[in-house]
Amino acid sequence: MTVKAMVAGWQARALAVTGDRVGFEWALSRASTLYDRADISDAPDWAYWFVDPATLFETGRAWTLVGRPERAIAIVEQQVLDEGAEYARDHALADVYLAEAHTAAGNLDVANRYATESRGMLTGGVQSPRCAAVLNALR
């Protein structure tokens, strides 16, 4: 079930990229249901890191892509609070996803602050092609 939950989560994010909000919400609901039913002890060893797909930074970004930036902001901010974005790359991604969501929500001053922080981490040595791509798109 764990791997099925992962695949459903990836499907949800792929649907978000296409702008299919209904499909995204359906696939995300399926991913969360599968995750709730999964037994991590039966999961492959490499899936040790897996968490509920609904709470991932990338899922937060998907909400922005389907026109619900307020949901994205809530998810990414909660992840930062819960996990602390302990790795620099995760912190840079969280910031850029928040910049993107705040831009979509019309909060341009807040978006600029997050984008500036993320850009500073990239120029400071953090390697993240995803982060750089989102920053470039925001420009």
* Residue 48 burial (CB count, 10 A): 9
pLDDT at residue number 96: 95
What average pLDDT does the segment 125-139 reach? 91
Residue 106 has pLDDT above 60, yes or no: yes
pLDDT over 70 percentage in the chain: 96
DSSP alpha helix (H) spans, the chain = 2-17, 21-37, 57-65, 69-83, 88-104, 108-123, 129-138
pLDDT at 84: 55
What is residue 47's predicted lDDT score, i.e. its pLDDT?
82
Q: Is the pLDDT of residue 89 over 90?
A: no
Predicted confidence at residue 88, as pLDDT, reads 85
Walk me through the domains of the chain, giving residue ranges and CATH numbers. 1-55 (no CATH), 57-139 (1.25.40)
What pLDDT, on a 0 to 100 scale, did the predictor assign at position 86?
A: 66
Q: What is the pLDDT of residues 26-85, one digit of tens each?
A: 999 999 999 999 887 788 888 877 888 998 889 999 999 999 999 999 999 988 876 655
pLDDT at 41: 79
